[in-house]
Amino acid sequence: MTNPTHFLEIDDVTRDELETILDRAAEYKRAQHEGEPHEDLEGQTLGMIFQKPSTRTRVSFETGMTQLGGHAVFLGEDDIQLGRGEPLKDTSRTLSRYVDVVMARVFKHENIEVLADYASVPIVNGLTDDAHPCQTLADLQTIREQEGGFEGVSAAWIGDGNNVAQSFTVGAAMTDIDLTVATPEGYGIDDEVVDRARELGGDPTITTDPVEAVTDADIIYTDVWISMGQEDERDVRMNDFEGFQVCSDLLEHAPEASIMHCLPAHRGEEITDDAIESDRSIVFDQAENRLHAQKALLSWLLE
């Protein structure tokens, strides 16, 4: 493959392609639940580069590739020559001679772009500091299951305007979800992300008022306030995010809303234990759908 399709941002696919991937994810989920084999990638190999640790990303990709009849190779930074200073472009070109697709979970978004620039196989963004498009695929699959589609759906993002929020904002625009993003002052999503969402036909509402955001929402979504690499900001962030916790008081303003969280959750910080354990929580459906959505993405990329 000399001109591979990469998946670095959620809008690297078109609306129609996104719909195709979500349809395939639903079919893979049905097949797995009914015990039907779906070894569509038999004999193919996924290389998985990890600079950041993970539970859901590693297990869902590795298990998914196995269920598709292929094989996954874990490549921790210190297990390969990246940890000894090999340039990313050399790693990319070398892996392209060995594997059929590469998933990378890295810090700097520019690193995933370098991998893609020098690869002759598809590169999948398993997470960067700027974006988490694979999570958005699972989020959209979960919302479609919960709401029966996207038409008329309203969602509220509460908390930090981080990588998950940024990808979800663009994904919401691609599916016509009416999104409100509520973050403390100084923690909002990037203006460039808002512009991309608007170019795609979305019109996200940006606010610093979590009550305004959740009122009458169908979906309430949150994530940790302190991501990997931000531990030294903990005291400041805990103070700045006061009032943004997804808790019973906030949920009173959206009595029918389903609750989402991409996990891992810091229970008692951005979300309370009773909220994540309530009947309104679809958090673990969302986590399961990482598996099905990523299988759909891999098979689509390797067609």
State pLDDT tens for residues 39-89.
Answer: 999 999 999 999 988 999 999 999 999 999 999 999 998 888 776 788 999
pLDDT of amino acid 228 = 75
Per-residue pLDDT at 83: 67
- Regarding whether 100 and 11 lie in a shared domain, the answer is yes
Report pLDDT for 270: 98
Residues 144-157: tens digit of each pLDDT? 999 999 999 999 99
Q: Is the same domain home to 150 and 185?
A: yes
Q: Is residue 142, in this structure, part of any structural domain at all?
A: yes
User: How many angstroms separate the CA atoms of 31 and 122, rounded?
Assistant: 25
pLDDT for residue 2 is more than 90: no
Residue 1 lies in a domain: no
Q: Do 69 and 158 sit in the same domain of this protein?
A: no
For residues 218 and 262, membership in a common domain is answered with: yes
Within this chain, do residues 82 and 52 fall inside the same structural domain, yes or no? yes
Q: What is the C-alpha end-to-end distance of the chain, expressed in Å? A: 11
On whether residue 206 sits in a domain, the answer given is yes
Q: Do 117 and 74 lie in a common domain?
A: yes
By annotation, the residues acting in catalysis are 105, 132, 135, 223, 262, 290
Q: Please state, for a pLDDT cut of 90, what percent of the chain lies above it.
A: 92
Task: Tell me: is residue 133 an annotated ligand-binding position.
Answer: yes
Residues 91 and 227 in one domain: no
According to the annotation, is 163 in a ligand binding site? yes
Q: Is the pLDDT of residue 95 over 90?
A: yes
Domain count within the chain? 2
For residues 121 and 99, is the Cβ–Cβ distance under 8 A?
yes
Any idea what the CATH number is for the domain that residue 193 is in? 3.40.50.1370
- Give the domain range for residue 176: 135-286
- Structural domain includes residue 168: yes
Q: Give the rounded distance of the alpha carbon of 198 from its chain centre.
A: 20
Contact by Cβ (8 Å): 164, 262 = yes
Look at residue 14 and tell me if it is in a domain.
Answer: yes
pLDDT at 177 over 90: yes
Q: In whole numbers, what is the pLDDT of the chain averaged over residues?
A: 96
**Reported pTM:** 0.96
The answer to whether 290 is annotated as binding is yes
Q: Which helix (H) or strand (E) holds 22?
A: helix 15-33
- Per the CB < 8 A criterion, the answer to whether 70 and 46 are in contact is yes
Residue 91 has a pLDDT of 93
For 25, half-sphere exposure in the C-beta direction (CA atoms, 13 angstrom radius) is: 27
Q: Are residues 248 and 147 in the same domain?
A: yes
Alpha-carbon distances of 282 from 134, 181, 186, 258, rounded to whole Å: 17, 19, 29, 7
Tell me if 57 is assigned to a ligand binding site. Answer: yes
Residue 1 clears pLDDT 50, i.e. is over it: no
Q: Indicate if 140 and 25 belong to the same structural domain.
A: no
Mind listing the pLDDT tens digit for each residue in 266-277? 999 999 999 999
pLDDT at 81: 79
Return the pLDDT at 3. Answer: 80
Same structural domain for residues 221 and 108? Answer: no
Asked if the model's pLDDT at residue 279 lies above 80, the reply is yes
List the single range of 131-145, 146-160, 161-175, 221-235 with lowest mean pLDDT.
Answer: 221-235
Please report which confidence band the pLDDT of residue 196 belongs to, taking 50, 70 and 90 as the band edges. very high
Please tell me the distance from the alpha carbon of residue 262 to that of residue 242, in angstroms, as a whole number.
Answer: 20
- What confidence category does residue 158 fall into, taking pLDDT thresholds of 50, 70 and 90? very high
Buried b (16+ CB within 10 A) or exposed e, 246-269: bbeebbebbeebbbbbbbebeeeb
Q: What would the pLDDT profile of 9-26 be if each residue is shown by its tens digit?
A: 999 999 999 999 999 999
Q: Any binding-site annotation on 263?
A: yes
Query: What's the CA gap between 278 and 286, in Å, rounded?
Result: 15
> Does the annotation place 54 within a ligand binding site?
yes
The pLDDT tens digits of the residues spanning 212-255 come to: 999 999 999 999 999 877 888 899 999 999 999 999 999 999 99
Domain shared by 238 and 298, yes or no: no
Q: CA of 42: how far to CAs of 1, 70, 100, 301, in Å?
A: 18, 5, 11, 14
| Co-location of 267 and 295 in the same domain | no
Residue written as tokens 């305007």?
A: 161
Residue 141 lies in a domain: yes
Going by C-alpha positions, the residue among 133, 159, 135, 163 that lies closest to residue 228 is 163
249: amino acid identity, one letter: D
Question: Treating both helix axes as pointing N-terminal to C-terminal, what angle do 283-301 and 15-33 enclose, rounded to 10 degrees?
Answer: 110
